[in-house]
Amino acid sequence: MGQASRQHAGNARRRPEDTGTACNTTPMRVLGIETSCDETGVAVYCTRDGLLGQALHSQVAMHERYGGVVPELASRDHIRRVLPLARQALGESGLSLAQIDAVAWTQGPGLAGALLVGSGVGASLAWALGRPGIGVHHLEGHLLSPLLADEAPQMPFVALLASGGHTQLMAVESIGRYRLLGDTLDDAAGEAFDKSAKLLGLGYPGGPALSKLGEAGRPGRFRLPRPLLHDDSLNFSFSGLKTAVRTAVGGGLADDAARADLALEVESAITEVLAAKAVRAVRASGCERLVIAGGVSANRQLRQRLAEAQRRQGFRCYFPPPALCTDNGAMIALAGALRLQAMAEAGHPAGIPSGFSVRPRWPLESLEPVTAQPG
């Protein structure tokens, strides 16, 4: 990455009818805002016409020199970017602000200061427009992001959510009805990529850089552990991997070929465990659909492993569009739209926000499904 800003509108006019999430009511156009970490994303999603426009700015170039995200810098940059990006996303959608029916923003989990920016702007916009607003769970956005792909899954499905902060297997029955099947006991998969990349002298974020270096690698020179691969549970543990990588790096690797070989082995160790546990979760659930989401779902080797597994074992694997694997506004607009639609259909539509709060720590499995209110 590293480019100052990027914008994409892949699948822009995708229709949600095929996903089982289409509305029977009036279409709703939702402006979604993502500012939980180091990307500022804004998008417009329509429950009838799909993704209408989006704009994204990655802060990677700004944080790169510090080797990781600096929270205060992240918040200040979100403040600078969010309104111009909102104008850009609206411009692409061909809509004016007055034509937006509702606003959604990432309420958590994430960096508190960064979340405050998107939540403050989102709630204020909704209030000023006199439209409903909703705080969205960032991971629910990732979980539902494959619904923005050309081939979208029907619910129920099993989901592997692998990002910089989370590695979870979930049974997804309907919007908000998520059952935790497995979790990481320590580091997340993305964190294992990032920490190993740092030990290999690569920049931040480490996952894409390590994967790129590994393309030139050859298997066999190194052998790293596959933590909990043969354990019966659906849990993960990646913290031992970085210790093994540190030992392998030792006082320095002989040459660039050795660095590439080790990068390939790190990628293989992480993706072998992720793929094996995901397949085990699908088999145990009896469900035939597997969704992979979160930043690590962009990983080439993970995609290859799962493509092979689905051919051999007869289940279907679904990924978000590649540009929507990492953080973006489209997944927040989508998740917000689906929740708002479900609330309206259940007879308790969301109101105009009179304030906002953020939830930097917010377990996904604590989310409630939208149900009809008694009476």
Judged by the rule CB under 5 A, the positions of this chain that interact with Zn ion are 163, 327
The continuous run of DSSP H or E covering 333 comes out as helix 329-345
34 belongs to the binding site for ligand KG4 (CB under 6 A): no
Using CA of residue 59, residue 143, residue 178, residue 185, what is the dihedral sign? Answer: negative
Per-residue contact string for residues 149-168; x = within reach of ligand KG4 by CB under 6 A: --------------xxx---
Residue 33: closest CA among 7, 2, 54? 54
Per-residue contact string for residues 325-354; x = within reach of ligand KG4 by CB under 6 A: -xx---------------------------
Sole binder of ligand KG4 in the list 45, 105, 193, 222 (CB under 6 A): 193
Tokens of 277: 């546990």
Window contacting ligand KG4 (CB under 6 A); options: 11-19, 201-209, 255-263, 351-359: 201-209
b/e per residue 294-330 (b: at least 16 CB within 10 A): bbbbbbebbbebbeebbeeeebebbbbbebbbbbbbb
Residue 236: closest CA among 187, 294, 298? 187
**Residue 207 binds which entry of ligand KG4, Zn ion, none, CB below 5-8 Å type-dependent:** ligand KG4
Q: By C-beta, is 46 or 260 nearer to ligand KG4?
A: 260
In the complex, minimum distance from the CB of residue 363 to ligand KG4, in angstroms, rounded to a whole number: 14
- C-alpha distance from residue 219 to each of 267, 269, 270 (Å): 11, 11, 14
**Residue 282 binds which entry of ligand KG4, Zn ion, none, CB below 5-8 Å type-dependent:** none
**Residue 182 binds which entry of ligand KG4, Zn ion, none, CB below 5-8 Å type-dependent:** none
**Residue 93 binds which entry of ligand KG4, Zn ion, none, CB below 5-8 Å type-dependent:** none
Q: By C-beta, is 40 or 211 nearer to ligand KG4?
A: 211
Q: ω before 156 within 30° of 0 (cis)?
A: yes
Window contacting ligand KG4 (CB under 6 A); options: 27-35, 189-197, 312-320, 365-373: 189-197
Strands 316-318 and 167-174: unpaired
In the complex, minimum distance from the CB of residue 146 to ligand KG4, in angstroms, rounded to a whole number: 13
Distance of CA 60 to the CA centre of its chain: 16
Window contacting ligand KG4 (CB under 6 A); options: 53-61, 78-86, 225-233, 288-296: 288-296
Can you tell me the distance from the alpha carbon of 171 to that of 179, in angstroms, rounded to the nearest whole number?
5
**Residue 298 binds which entry of ligand KG4, Zn ion, none, CB below 5-8 Å type-dependent:** ligand KG4
In the complex, minimum distance from the CB of residue 163 to Zn ion, in angstroms, rounded to a whole number: 5
Contact present, 325 and 293 (Cβ < 8 Å): yes
Contact present, 124 and 50 (Cβ < 8 Å): no
In the complex, minimum distance from the CB of residue 142 to Zn ion, in angstroms, rounded to a whole number: 6
- C-alpha distance from residue 267 to each of 49, 69, 196, 278 (Å): 38, 22, 9, 16
**Residue 206 binds which entry of Zn ion, ligand KG4, none, CB below 5-8 Å type-dependent:** ligand KG4
In the complex, minimum distance from the CB of residue 8 to ligand KG4, in angstroms, rounded to a whole number: 15
> Residues near 13 by Cβ (< 8 Å), separated by ≥ 6?
49, 50, 51, 52
Residue 140: closest CA among 299, 291, 354? 291
- The residue ranges that bind ligand KG4 (CB under 6 A) are 37, 163-165, 190, 193-194, 205-208, 211, 294-296, 298-299, 326-327
